[in-house]
């Protein structure tokens, strides 16, 4: 089953999850033996997030956060650690991720990487300006790859 792994450094990797035991594989990828939260920020996708990631100090995942915020159409709470994105059926079951949603994730992650690189020489004026810039790029990437 096709899924994506989004790491805190904004790299996106294709993952082939085993059909009979996808949830176990997801737990292994996100590094949680028990608690994996599921965030449904898009009607056809689920983000699988370490349940205690922020609490135990996992690094922030800006690419997954920007993607989820763009899909939801609003600024969300921070996301931390490695995140797995799968497809979602109408009744909420995990399924393969559709190609258009893969494109969204890859485009947003590339924009996050490019923006962070640019900020090394031209830092944003404020935290709010940084959030606004990342979310504007993410919204553009999601809209242009529909």
∠ CA 14-20-21, rounded to 5°: 70
Sign (positive or negative) of CA dihedral 94, 77, 15, 17 = negative
DSSP of 12-60: EEEEE--STTHHHHHHHHHT-SS-EEEEEEETTEEEEEETTTTTTTPPB
Q: What is the mean pLDDT of residues 12-39?
A: 91
pLDDT (tens digit per residue) in 84-139: 999 999 888 899 999 999 999 999 999 999 999 999 999 999 999 999 999 999 99
- Nearest partner of 40 among 82, 78, 94, 81, judged by Cα: 94
Beta carbons of 46 and 36 less than 8 angstroms apart: no
pLDDT at 12 over 80: yes
The pLDDT tens digits for 42-80 are 999 999 999 999 999 999 999 999 999 999 999 999 999
* Predicted TM-score (pTM) above 0.85: yes
CB 108 within 8 A of CB 71: no
| 85, 6 contact by CB (below 8 A) | yes
Query: Is 20 a residue whose pLDDT tops 90?
Result: no
Q: What is the mean pLDDT of the chain?
A: 94
């Amino acid at each position: 089953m096709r899924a994506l792994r989004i790491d805190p450094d904004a790299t996106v990797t294709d993952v082939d999850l085993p059909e009979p035991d996808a949830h176990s594989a997801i737990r292994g990828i996100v590094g949680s033996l028990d608690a994996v939260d599921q965030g449904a920020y898009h009607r056809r996708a689920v983000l699988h997030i370490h349940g205690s990631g922020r609490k135990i100090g996992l690094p922030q995942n800006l690419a997954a956060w920007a993607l989820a915020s763009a899909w939801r159409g609003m600024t969300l709470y921070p996301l931390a650690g490695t995140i797995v994105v799968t497809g979602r059926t109408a009744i909420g079951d995990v399924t393969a991720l559709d190609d258009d949603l893969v494109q969204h994730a890859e485009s947003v992650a590339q924009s996050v990487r490019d923006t962070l690189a640019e900020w090394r020489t031209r830092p944003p004026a404020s935290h709010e300006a940084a959030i606004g810039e990342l979310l504007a790029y993410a919204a553009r990437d999601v809209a242009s790859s529909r």
